[in-house]
A and B are shown apart, each in its own frame.
Chain A
Amino acid sequence: MNYFKQLKTVAFWEYQRFYKLKNELIGIAVLIIMGLVGGSVGAGIQSYAEAEKDITITITDQESPELKKALSEKFTVDIIDASQQDDFIEKIKQERKGLLLCSDGDIFMLHAYKEPRPINDIQNVLDTYRQNLAIKEKGISTEQLDYVLEPAEFEKEYYREEEAQYRTVAAYVFVVLMIMAVFSSFAYQFTGITGEKQLKVTEMIVSAIKPKVWMDGKIVGITLTGLSSMLSYLVIAILGGIVIFILANISAASVLKYIHLPSIILFFLFTIMGILMWNAFMAAIASIITDPNNSGKSSIMFIPVAFVLNSFFVISYPESNLATFFSWFPLTSPSTMPILWSITDIALWQLAGSFIVLTATFYLLRTLAAKIFRVSILISGNEPSWGEVFRLAWRA
C-alpha cells in the first residue's frame, strides 16, 4: 500500500476523530453567549457606576456662589445653614451617607462616611474652580490663557506605504488565529497520542503501517483540525465584523483596504507551516509520555507559549537585532516574520529564506517525532529519560 494512500487514510481518520463541527459551533455559540452576558454585565456595572456618580454634595450658605455654580455643573448641590454643619457631620456618621464640602481659603475639606466613587470628578471640579479664581486674581484674560496653553505645531510626514499599516491589522488577526490553531492542535495531539498508548491501540496499528506514516498522518490530520477550527472562528469573526460595520454604517471600501491578497497568502503559508512544525514538535513530546497524569514531560508541551510572547516583543522593537533573529529562528519565525513584514521592510529573499528554514525544521522534527514514536510505542512501564529516548531514536 503506498505512502500517500495510508497518509490520507490516517489523516482523514484523525481529522474525523477530533474535528466535530457541531462541537465547534456549540463552542462558538457559548463564546458569543458569554460575550453577550459579559457585555450586559459590563453595561450594568457601567450604568451602576454612572448612577453612583450622580450624587448630592452639601455645602453651607457661607460658601461662594462660584463654588456652588461650579459644583452644580456636575452634581446636585444642597445648601444648609452654617450653624447646622456639626449636626450634618454627625448625621453622616450615624446614617452613613451624605457628603459635606467645606472650604477654608484655598483648602477644601470633604466629610463623608467613606470615599465616594466620583472623588476624581470632585477633584476636577475643584481644580477648575481654583484655576478660574487664580486667573481672576492675576488679571489674566481668556485669550492670554489660551495662548499660553496652546500646543506646539507638530507636523508629521511618514514615507512608509499607507497600505502597510493595514497589513499590521491583518498580521495581528493571523497571529491570534495561529495561536488558537496551535493550542487546539496541542490538545488533540496530546490526547490523541497518549490516549492511543493508554488504549493500547498502538501495537495493532504499527503492525499495519510504518510509524513514520502514522506519525505523518497524525500531524497532517491534526493540523487540518487546527486549521478548521481557525477557519470556523475566522468565518464567525468576519460575519460578526460585517454586522458591526453595517450597524456602524462603515463603508465597504474602508474595510476592503485591510484585505491585501499577497499578505494573506504569506500569512497563510507561514501559519500552515508553523502549525505543522508545532504539531511535529508536540507529537514527539507526546510520544514519550506514557501516563499523562504523572508525566513531568507534559509541561514541555507549553513551549509554544514562547512564540506568542516573542510576537509582542517584535511589535514593540521591530528594528532590533533580536527581532531579526526571531524572524529567522524556526520556532518563532511563523508568527514573527509576517508581523515584521507588515511593519518593516523585508526583502523577498529574507521571506523565502525564513520559510525554507521553517520548512526544513518541520521536516527534521517530523522525522525525529517518527523515530521517537517508533522507540516509545512499546514502552509502557517507566517513562524513558530524555537520554534514553534520544539514544534509542538515534539507533532507530
Chain B
Amino acid sequence: MKEILKVDQLNKRFKNIHAVSDISFSVQQGDIFAFLGPNGAGKTTMLRILLDIIKADKGKVNWNINGNNHTLPDSSQIGYLPEERGLYTDVPIIRSLIYMASIRGMEKQEAKEAAMEWLGKVQLADRAKEKLQALSKGNQQKIQFISSIIHKPSFAILDEPFAGLDPVTQESFIEFIHELNKQGTTILLCSHQMQLVERIAGKVFLINKGEEIYNGFLNDIYSIFGDRLIIDIGFSEEIPDNKINSITGIEKIEKQNNRNIQVTFKANVNISEIMNKLSGIPGISHIKSHNPTLHDVFLALVKKEQNING
C-alpha cells in the first residue's frame, strides 16, 4: 500500500502547554486510521496542523495523494469534518452543500447530483430545499458530514464524527464511514469514543497530553495488554469488598456503581479457581467475562506511561 500521509516529529506549544510533542506517524492509502485520546489530548491541534489551519512549531507533514508530493494537497482531495460543527443555518440545505462542494472545486451540476445522492442515503432528500435550522440536531450532523465528503475526496479527516449522536445515528455513521472507505477514500478519524472506533479502524494512534502512547495495528494493541481476564460482576445486595479482595490474581477492581464492579485479573490466572471462589460469594446476580476493550488498553497504557515517567 502507498504511503499517503507522513508526519514527522511534529511539535506545537500554546503558551505553557505542549499540545503536540514529537508526533510521528504515517497513513497508507485505503486505511481507516484512528487518532484516539481523551479530551484535550492534542488530537484537534494535530488535525489543524495537517490541514495548515495552524502552523507547527517544528516537524514535517508530507502528503502524497495521486502521486503528487505536497506539504498540503489541493482542497479538492481532502475532506474535513471539524469537531466544532457549523453550517449556514439560514440557507437552504442544498445550496449550502453545493457551495461547500464548489469551494472544493466541484462543478455546480455535479455537486447538486452528489448532494441529492447523499441526501437520499441519509433519508433527507425531501428536505433539500429546507433551511438547516429546520432540521433536528442529529439530522444537522448528517448534513455536516455530507458537506465534508460530498466532493469525493481521496482523504477524509473526521474529527469526533460520533459526538452528540444517539446510538441509532451512531450506527448510521459507522456505515457511512465504511461506505466512504469502500469508495476509495482513506480515512483519518479522531475520537475519544473508543468502543465505536475499534469497530471500524484498522490502525490506531493513541495520544495523551500531546504524546504518543501507541501507534500501530488495532489487532496488535490487545497483545500489549496481555491475556488478562476481565469479569463484570453484578450483586443483588451490597458488594462484599473483603470477599472479592480475598481472591488471588486480581490486578485491579473498578467499582462501576453500588451493585456492579469490573475485576481485571493478571495474565495466566487459573480461571476455574476464580470461578470456584466466586461461587462461594453470596448475592452475585450475574457474571460476564470479556476481552479487554480499547478503552481498557488505553487506560493501561496511560498508567504504564505515568509509571515510566515517575
Contact = CB atoms under 8 A, between A and B. Distances in A.
* A and B interact physically: yes
Contacts of B179: none
Contacts of A204: 80, 82, 86-87, 100, 144, 147-148
Nearest to A1: B105
A203 B84 contact: yes
Interface in B62-92: 74-76, 78, 80, 82, 84-89, 91
B103 A205 contact: yes
Contacts of A3: none
B104 interface: yes
B91 A200 contact: no
Residue from the set A202, A208, A378 with the largest chain B CB neighbour count within 10 Å: A208
Contacts of A203: 48, 53, 82, 84, 86
Interface string A198-241: 01111111111100000000000000000000000000000000
A293 B118 CA distance: 37
Contacts of B76: 1
B12 to A, nearest CB: 13
A207 B80 contact: yes
Given A204-B82, A207-B82, A9 B89 contact: no
Contact of B75 (A17, A196, A201, A208): A208
B148 to A, nearest CB: 7
B48 A378 contact: yes
Contacts of B88: 17, 199, 201
A10 B86 CA distance: 17
A232 B53 CA distance: 39
Interface in B136-151: 144, 147-148
B86 A201 contact: yes
Contacts of B48: 203, 378
Nearest to B144: A204
A6 interface: yes
Interface residues of B, number: 26
Interface in B212-237: none
Given A1-B76, A203-B53, A209 B86 contact: no
A206 B48 CA distance: 10
Interface in A82-112: none
Nearest to A202: B86
A207 B80 CA distance: 7
Interface in A1-28: 1, 5-6, 9-10, 13, 17
Residue from the set A10, A13, A377 with the largest chain B CB neighbour count within 10 Å: A13
Contacts of A17: 88, 91
B84 A207 contact: no
Nearest to A8: B102
B284 interface: no
B74 A1 contact: yes
A9 B102 contact: yes
Contacts of A207: 51, 53, 75, 78, 80, 82
B183 to A, nearest CB: 20
Contacts of A208: 75, 80, 100, 103-104
Contacts of A380: 84
Interface in A165-197: 196
Contacts of B82: 200, 203-204, 207
Q: How large is the interface on A (under 10, 10 to 19, 20 to 34, 35 or more residues)?
A: 20 to 34
B86 A9 contact: no
Interface string B36-61: 00000000000010010110000000
A22 to B, nearest CB: 15
Contacts of B84: 200, 203, 380
A209 B75 contact: yes
B55 to A, nearest CB: 8
Nearest to B159: A203
A199 B131 CA distance: 14
A195 B138 CA distance: 22
A209 B53 contact: no
B142 to A, nearest CB: 15
Contacts of A202: 86
Interface string A369-388: 00000000110100000000
A133 B213 CA distance: 113
A1 B88 CA distance: 23
A88 B68 CA distance: 106
A394 to B, nearest CB: 14
A201 B148 CA distance: 12
A13 to B, nearest CB: 5
B176 interface: no
Contact of A9 (B87, B103, B148): B103
B99 interface: yes
B54 A10 contact: no
A10 B102 CA distance: 9
Contacts of A196: 86
A205 B51 CA distance: 11
A24 to B, nearest CB: 18
Contacts of B104: 1, 208
A206 B86 contact: no
A5 B105 CA distance: 8
A204 B91 CA distance: 16
A378 B52 CA distance: 13
Interface string B98-126: 01101111000000000000000000000
A10 B103 contact: yes
B58 to A, nearest CB: 15
B80 A9 contact: no
A206 B103 contact: no
Contacts of B148: 204
Contacts of B85: 200
19 contacts: A1-B74, A6-B103, A17-B88, A196-B86, A201-B87, A203-B48, A203-B53, A203-B82, A203-B86, A204-B82, A204-B87, A204-B147, A207-B80, A207-B82, A208-B75, A208-B80, A209-B103, A378-B54, A380-B84
Interface of A: 1, 5-6, 9-10, 13, 17, 196, 199-209, 377-378, 380
- 5 pairs of A and B residues whose beta carbons are closest in the complex: A200-B86, A207-B80, A1-B105, A203-B82, A201-B86
